[in-house]
Structure 1
């Protein structure tokens, strides 16, 4: 199962089949000397799991000796990873006078999705979109993350976002790449689900404005790769995989400064890349490593597919991406894992006729035909709730009247201010244009049967209709404007099932507000920095999508951009 997935397909939240969790609380590869099966048997036999047991990925391999290194390349900064965060870090360092080498296991620049959050920009100004006020909104997100992260990282993003996003908008414009702001949900400021319109999307052809702008990150990634190599003179080496960091002059050393990384090329030859000022790790997530997911994101293991080969050129994709190469290398040299739970990004159940980035805001039921939540929620949050259902599946039921009664319908992958008409929404339902597996019938009972739900589900529908008529949801207290009936005369009728899909893990090793990697005593490891999904302590829990494109805009653009400037200015030692 290989291949790319466009973001419209991602929004569907289609689940991938995968192996389940290891039974009985046993940890796969928890013993350094045991095979996974042996570890399960041993744990089952003893019914204990010693606190000092280590996972296989935590144990450093034998150091690569100097006698195996065929070449040494020295520069001020070595960037490891050719995704957006690595490209931005390399560009910022080089623009500010540093000599940079970028190595990447991929064959070329890598991008996923296309939403880049910027709290304000020249494009937002042109479109009449106001600057986001962080005062109450960030406090709301503080609550959403349970206070279990480092606010200094968020406010550093806010205070530098406008400069950074305008910088990359200008780079794009010089290459003929245009920028717009994506459509978002219609929540009002003050609503806990409010999502400020601030997701910048790149496109080249105006035809992309009709449903494709959310997949345009490849345009800017390709240009950034060209820009750093051709215009800035960065030494870019593709198909070069980082293997071991060098700390204190020793591969996998645990004391002193990190000043190099040993990497292998396609022929297996080793080169040592020395960064006299910094080694910046931007190698992506760890969701293609089952042990790491068991350890740090057990709630998402069943949504991951660990059977596919690792593809360092993978675009947006459900079911797991990168194998955590950078995380492992940092663990081996003494970096400490973040203290808060790792964030996971789940696919949002989202239909034509729903707002972008929201759940289905009409009636949803479980496999017993029972309603289970206030459906009016951001999709990431709804997915987290759906994960608790039997089969991790929710079922949506609605009538044709919803298209008229529930609008205006913002359109995913369309610019801010663009909407589907009532006729367009119905057409997309009728044709299942987005591949959601929508069923259609003349009666509600037929839709219920086609979804495989019990016949008694009609009682839930009628109970829902009674609350719609009264204008008060006395079960889950959804607001009256979202209570659209599914009466006998509101057909034809539609239905669809949704299971959350897993896109990526976020975070990892402890990271301070200057992106320095920290040890178990929360002390910076000199010379070692994180960017992109590698940045720890930025999130906790579930990626809510309350800030569209937050991960790209903050951890992949703004913070690496500031890091490059700070390194060049000598602010970080």
Structure 2
């Protein structure tokens, strides 16, 4: 019988993604001995953070304020970055969640958003303006940013985790890969674990920080909490977020908080052979150009407003809408005019699924959709566009198509062959339900009392998001509340 290994440290962090590393950095800079237990082996580590584009939503007053935070870029001189004040960030959080966001947590998220990213920058993490994702050229040749989101990690999610890891190693933080935490015990507190070699052990600590993600990679938990059909969703990110630590924390006296019935889910390449947990392509399987085109289901019918708002405020909502369609599939349709404006990293990536046709009937045949139905949908859409309103992709231009459902902005006729249809399904990113905590990231019990030595951050923190999500706010939340957790742990 193999002997159980016992050890002790000051702080145990469960999960080696952006939030977990942020907590580890904050604890280490206070002189604490920190151990990060990461479920993934070295080649599979980083949680969902690895799979992101690295976008961070922060409050700011324009490019001049951020210039010292960003990698140098000659395009800065011809860029228009509108201020994004804290009031707007807060309003966006309330708007996309229908007011269901926790106000106290939101205040901290918004108020510390820029400072937390600057703090990480001071530890060697690098940031840049995301021209390829968040800017459109205007008539004067300037790059105009839109949707309250402009800053991202240099190197995307891969770069983010690489830089976090380098900072942790430099600070003397121990990282154990391939180590799954089994139980969370409040005696101490401590955790039990099993590693890839089959060894088991216990680590006693003064504090435990939970940063192990949600339950999106467990099909049964998705069905139970999100509803029937969600077991069919494609897992965009890590396959390791199976809700283990949520279950363990609830058993230890924590209480659930936030919206356990909704999640972050996007339009995702439906026909790609490797469209789950793809560590090479990561977020490139997202299909977020729908505001430039129209989206139809397998009956050839539109079912959502592609121009309801900037993509940053709708993309995390529309995956669920696609899943609810027949067969859980839809098609994003563009013509020869709009196709060149689609983001290269998403629509021109190796193996991107696409159907082309010189006519709508030919396109429909490749899609497996009734040609008459698709033609009718497209022609009705084209005829309803208010063409007197100028098209401006960098603002909500009010150029609408008055059909049912309407397209509220950026209505561009689909009439110039060849035509393109990109098949999409629902790609789930992370679940919104988590644990209840105070603004210091201390996990609370049913009476609202902090559980001794237990903290939570990242996707395990409940209460910030519900139904929808403003792009880039997840990584920011991980940095803000990870830092808060590590500052007390």
Q: TM-score, normalised by structure 2?
A: 0.78
Provide the secondary structure at the position in 2 that maps to 1:272.
strand
Structure 2 CA distance, aligned partners of 1:272 and 1:100? Answer: 15
Structure 2 CA distance, aligned partners of 1:318 and 1:232? Answer: 28
| Distance verdict in 2 for CA 1:134–1:194, change over 3 Å | farther
Report if aligned partners of 1:241, 1:264 keep a CA contact under 8 Å in 2: yes
1:181 and 2:107 equivalent?
no
1:286 and 2:215 equivalent?
yes
| Distance verdict in 2 for CA 1:286–1:372, change over 3 Å | closer
| Distance verdict in 2 for CA 1:286–1:148, change over 3 Å | same
Residue by residue, what CA displacement relative to the aligned partner does 1:52-71 show, whole Å, maximum 9, x if unpaired?
xxxxxxxxxxxxxxx99734
Provide the secondary structure at the position in 1 that maps to 2:305.
coil
Alignment-derived partner of residue 371 in structure 1: 302
State the Cα distance separating 1:318 from its structure 2 match.
5.5
Alignment-derived partner of residue 222 in structure 1: 162
State the Cα distance separating 1:90 from its structure 2 match.
0.9
State the Cα distance separating 1:327 from its structure 2 match.
0.9
Residue by residue, what CA displacement relative to the aligned partner does 1:267-291 show, whole Å, maximum 9, x if unpaired?
4443321222x11111222223333
Structure 1 CA distance, aligned partners of 2:71 and 2:57? Answer: 12
Alignment-derived partner of residue 316 in structure 2: 380
Alignment-derived partner of residue 422 in structure 1: none
Residue by residue, what CA displacement relative to the aligned partner does 1:370-409 show, whole Å, maximum 9, x if unpaired?
23232214322333332332222223333213358xxxx4
Report if aligned partners of 1:338, 1:510 keep a CA contact under 8 Å in 2: yes
State the Cα distance separating 1:518 from its structure 2 match.
1.8
Report if aligned partners of 2:331, 2:422 keep a CA contact under 8 Å in 1: yes
| Distance verdict in 2 for CA 1:370–1:224, change over 3 Å | closer
State the Cα distance separating 1:359 from its structure 2 match.
2.6
The structure 1 residue matched to 2:457, chosen from 531, 541, 546, is 531
Report if aligned partners of 1:350, 1:358 keep a CA contact under 8 Å in 2: no
1:336 and 2:255 equivalent?
yes
Structure 1 CA distance, aligned partners of 2:356 and 2:425? Answer: 19
Any residues of structure 2 matched to 1:99-110 within 5 Å, and which? 99-108=33-42, 109-110=45-46
Query: What is the CA RMSD across the aligned residues, in angstroms?
Result: 3.3
Alignment-derived partner of residue 12 in structure 2: 78
Residue by residue, what CA displacement relative to the aligned partner does 1:282-341 show, whole Å, maximum 9, x if unpaired?
122222333322332226623347xxxxxxxxxx83595422121121121121111533
Report if aligned partners of 1:69, 1:272 keep a CA contact under 8 Å in 2: no
| Distance verdict in 2 for CA 1:566–1:485, change over 3 Å | same
Alignment-derived partner of residue 485 in structure 2: 563
Q: What 5-or-longer segments of structure 1 have no aligned partner?
A: 1-66, 188-192, 204-215, 250-257, 306-315, 415-427, 568-573
Alignment-derived partner of residue 504 in structure 1: 430
Structure 2 CA distance, aligned partners of 1:186 and 1:478? Answer: 21
Provide the secondary structure at the position in 1 that maps to 2:213.
coil
1:146 and 2:76 equivalent?
no
Provide the secondary structure at the position in 1 that maps to 2:9.
strand
Report if aligned partners of 2:108, 2:439 keep a CA contact under 8 Å in 1: yes
Provide the secondary structure at the position in 1 that maps to 2:402.
coil
Alignment-derived partner of residue 272 in structure 1: 202
Q: What 5-or-longer segments of structure 2 have no aligned partner?
A: 61-65, 137-144, 271-285, 389-399
Structure 1 CA distance, aligned partners of 2:269 and 2:306? Answer: 11
Alignment-derived partner of residue 236 in structure 1: 175
Structure 1 CA distance, aligned partners of 2:320 and 2:229? Answer: 10
Alignment-derived partner of residue 461 in structure 1: 378
1:245 and 2:184 equivalent?
yes
1:411 and 2:334 equivalent?
no
Structure 2 CA distance, aligned partners of 1:403 and 1:70? Answer: 59
Q: Kindly name which structure, 1 or 2, has the bigger radius of gyration based on alpha carbons.
A: 1
1:296 and 2:225 equivalent?
yes
Structure 1 CA distance, aligned partners of 2:221 and 2:215? Answer: 7
Structure 2 CA distance, aligned partners of 1:226 and 1:445? Answer: 54
1:445 and 2:373 equivalent?
no
State the Cα distance separating 1:503 from its structure 2 match.
2.6
1:554 and 2:477 equivalent?
yes
Deviates more, 1:434-443 or 1:515-524: 434-443
Structure 2 CA distance, aligned partners of 1:266 and 1:320? Answer: 16
Provide the secondary structure at the position in 2 that maps to 1:482.
coil
State the Cα distance separating 1:95 from its structure 2 match.
0.9
Residue by residue, what CA displacement relative to the aligned partner does 1:86-120 show, whole Å, maximum 9, x if unpaired?
12211111112222222222223422223141414
Q: TM-score, normalised by structure 1?
A: 0.67
Residue by residue, what CA displacement relative to the aligned partner does 1:357-379 show, whole Å, maximum 9, x if unpaired?
45353233222222323221432
Any residues of structure 2 matched to 1:127-166 within 5 Å, and which? 127=76, 129-166=81-118
1:513 and 2:459 equivalent?
no
Alignment-derived partner of residue 276 in structure 2: none
Structure 2 CA distance, aligned partners of 1:357 and 1:94? Answer: 38
Alignment-derived partner of residue 419 in structure 1: none
Structure 1 CA distance, aligned partners of 2:175 and 2:402? Answer: 60
Aligned length: 431
Report if aligned partners of 1:346, 1:380 keep a CA contact under 8 Å in 2: yes
Structure 1 CA distance, aligned partners of 2:127 and 2:135? Answer: 25
| Distance verdict in 2 for CA 1:240–1:296, change over 3 Å | same
Report if aligned partners of 1:360, 1:396 keep a CA contact under 8 Å in 2: no
| Distance verdict in 2 for CA 1:166–1:320, change over 3 Å | same
Provide the secondary structure at the position in 2 that maps to 1:540.
coil
Structure 2 CA distance, aligned partners of 1:172 and 1:338? Answer: 34
| Distance verdict in 2 for CA 1:335–1:412, change over 3 Å | farther
Structure 2 CA distance, aligned partners of 1:319 and 1:218? Answer: 13
Structure 2 CA distance, aligned partners of 1:454 and 1:123? Answer: 52
Report if aligned partners of 1:182, 1:200 keep a CA contact under 8 Å in 2: no
